[in-house]
Structure 1
Amino acid sequence: MGHTNAYPYQEVFEAYLHRQELAQPTIVEYRSVLTDLFSFLSNFNVGYQADHRVATLLDRDVEQYLAMLVNQRQVTNGTYNKMLSHINIYFKYLFTHDLITHYPTLTLKGKSHDDLKAPTTKWLHLMPSILANQQLAVYTRLTLLLSSHFYTISEFLTPGFNQQLDIQNFKTHEQAFWQEYQRFIEPLQERQHSRDLFLKQRLDGDPHLTAAGLHKYLKPDEKLLGFSLTPTRLYQSAILDFLLQHPRLTDQQLSEKLRLDPQSLNYYRQLAMQYRG
């Protein structure tokens, strides 16, 4: 056909998808996922970089990519499961057609279907009232504030995060909440001998609040706000909203603002197009 395959066995696999009478947008989705997978492996997987042989891939190689989706791109369970399904069907095809001798996704499982809806972005436009809402826990409001500035839960719960947080560009209502938060956290920081932002209320060895500990604040406030406060979903919706609101920014501008590598930015661009549609 005179073109270079975007991923191994692209032509025969996509011919197979056509024979299965899949819709063209679905086939394009497969192509996007598999192109992204092999681009990631080419850039970050030492074993695959050595010879680019798909037959040498193991479950841990695919797991490395899936872990990146969760930890760096903060994908939802629904997106994760869909991408794993596409990858699984691809490797199943290669295995059943004797193109590979083992099936690297056989043991990989999808994530629970507890929250598969598209993330809402409405909360981002209600931030002044949310940050001023005294009924909400201070840690809940801080989580929403940091998520709206494109920080992941793994970032803002990491000790030392306070040193990299730049509050100079906080808006007026964000500065007002930040002052309230300072009044709350300073006595706790003194008691716990830590300048970090999320601290336990009680003295208990490690003073840092865990993800499970933060969840205990977020869960009750979900009922008050009426939407999911899962930090990964908040982060994802903040990214999507920014892309939708700023369609004219260049890739470099977006990468700097959102702190995303080119692959992750491309992923979110595609997700934003789906969301817009």
Structure 2
Amino acid sequence: MWVEGTVISRIDWTDTLFSLRIRAPLAPFIAGQFIKLSRILDDKRIARAYSLVNPPGSDFLEILAVTVEEGQLSPRLQELNPGDRIEVTATAAGFMTLNELPKDIGKHLWMLATGTAIGPFVSMLATAEPWDRFERLVLVYGVRHRADLAYLDELKALQAKYPDKFSLILSVTREAVDGALQCRIPEALASGELERLAALALSPTDSQVMICGNPDMLASAQQLLLERGLTKNLRRAPGNITVEKYW
């Protein structure tokens, strides 16, 4: 079911990376879920999924998107301004949520994200659940350029607020940035650099790992974790690794 939403504000992080805040009726959702946005183009509905960046209970919806030059929808979304209308699904969906993690495995939560896949983790971290449930939280955020680090101020504020509980590890692959790695997340995982920077070991008994991002990162990181003895988290067989492809 589609409902009409109204853009109330936007942020342009770069020439192609942007956030939209939309006011629209939406059923209650769980942090980490996604909605679909759509437009009717040439009498055909074009719809794409976008994770919600805002936490549950907000009076707006927020999505983070990147314009794909040959894309059918994203260039048109980037043209939207406050007051413009956009159709939104009336309910959110998806299983990249904390309630899908087993309650009895892992006291440390690792979150690995690339690019716009940071969105669901921003939503989760704005709720009480991860802070109440886990002893340590580690967010690894990989991008190509420093300007691509959307929501960095909010994440650094969490790091300052919870210095003993929350570790923020940045990776910027195509330029040198003070305090950030300059390698892909799987490389830092394989070398042990992520564990060194977090001062925390990954293990089948103590770790839950949520991975959200591009398929190459997801596949490589997951394989490395499997080799370390961690297992995929399935409803029929609870484990350590939860993944969501971002395109």
Alignment TM class, shorter chain as reference: under 0.3
Whose strand fraction is larger, Structure 1's or Structure 2's? 2
- Tell me the TM-score normalized by structure 1: 0.23
- Tell me the TM-score normalized by structure 2: 0.25
- Which protein has the larger Cα radius of gyration, Structure 1 or Structure 2? 1
Whose helix fraction is larger, Structure 1's or Structure 2's? 1
